[in-house]
Amino acid sequence: MGLTYAQGMAKSSLLNRHNLMIYDKSPELILSLSKINHFDVYDDIEECLPKADVVFLAVKPYHCEELFEDIKSLMNNDQIVVSIMAGVTIKTIQEGLDLEKVVRAMPNLPAQVGKGVTSYTASSGVSRIEILMVRNLLDTTGESIKVENENFIDASTGISGSGPAYVFYFMQSMLEAALKMGFSKNDSKILVSQTFEGAVELFNQSDLSPETWMERVASKGGTTRAALDSMEDNNVKELIKDAAYAAFDRAVELGKEKKTKLTT
């Protein structure tokens, strides 16, 4: 995910390659990244980190304590930290690095193709201009929304962070149905992916709600009505809402587990 952001920023006109410094602790990754001419790659964090204005932290949440140990002494209070680590709170990062300016962000996988959505919130030490600068960086992978507090970061994990998997779940179900009906693998893929893409495009190009679109497709006694009735009878909408809440709850839980681990 860190590399996804780096690639988004590299492709944008915001930064030239020498303004973009990448560090990873894996020598193999550093070697392969240094062959890409999009950014400056470092194998020594002491060389790059003190020079940075904005520092993106993109390690797995369970590696954060180790990361804090590695970088704390190299950072200063003018730097802005942008963390995409799920469940790691702003307070944890401020305490772990002993600095004030932290932006916590929740991206999602379509960032890899420039169609991501990132929700973010900032500590009070980050100025409006600095927030705008961070937003421009985040937007190089798609769109972003600023949320009021960290509760909404956990909530957006349940909607957009984990959301691509819900869409894939729906796609997989339709693919399996198409295959069962006798379509080839290739034709099933075209039928399903074009249906998703077309529906999203219709939705984006209008002010209509998904509910109104559903009613437009479904006529009384028709085929779509039969499908929608079957979904309603099986409570599919409620089940999907429950799934989103399960992800939200898990994000909150992960944050608490991390906090307990750090204070014990």
Amino acid sitting at position 210:
P
Residue 84 binds ligand NAP, judged by CB under 6 A: yes
Phi and psi torsions of 37, nearest 5°: -90, 30
Helix (H), strand (E) at residue 178: helix 163-181
Residue 77 binds ligand NAP, judged by CB under 6 A: no
Residue 66 binds ligand NAP, judged by CB under 6 A: yes
Tokens at 213, concatenated: 């679109």
Q: Which stretch binds ligand NAP (CB under 6 A): 61-69, 135-143, 211-219, 235-243?
A: 61-69
Q: What span, in angstroms and rounded, lies between the C-alpha atoms of 151 and 156?
A: 9
Q: Closest CB to ligand NAP among 84 and 247?
A: 84
Contact set for ligand NAP, span 93-132 (CB under 6 A): 106-109
Least distance in angstroms from the C-beta of 126 to ligand NAP:
20
User: For residue 225, which of 215, 238, 233 has the smallest C-alpha distance?
Assistant: 215
Q: How many CB atoms lie within 10 A of CB 247?
A: 19
Least distance in angstroms from the C-beta of 198 to ligand NAP:
25
**C-beta separation of 132 from 122 below 8 A:** no
Q: Closest CB to ligand NAP among 87 and 101?
A: 87
Q: Which stretch binds ligand NAP (CB under 6 A): 66-74, 136-144, 194-202, 230-238?
A: 66-74
b/e per residue 150-179 (b: at least 16 CB within 10 A): bebbbbbbbbbbbbeeeeeeeeeeebeebe
Q: What mask of x and - would describe binding to ligand NAP in positions 7 to 46, judged by CB under 6 A?
A: -----------------xxx--x-----------------
Q: Closest CB to ligand NAP among 175 and 251?
A: 251
**C-beta separation of 80 from 53 below 8 A:** yes
Least distance in angstroms from the C-beta of 181 to ligand NAP:
32
Q: What span, in angstroms and rounded, lies between the C-alpha atoms of 178 and 184?
A: 8
Residue 59 binds ligand NAP, judged by CB under 6 A: yes
* DSSP state, residue 79: P
Residue 47 binds ligand NAP, judged by CB under 6 A: no
Contact positions vs ligand NAP (CB under 6 A): 1-2, 24-26, 29, 58-61, 63, 66-67, 70, 84-86, 106-109, 161
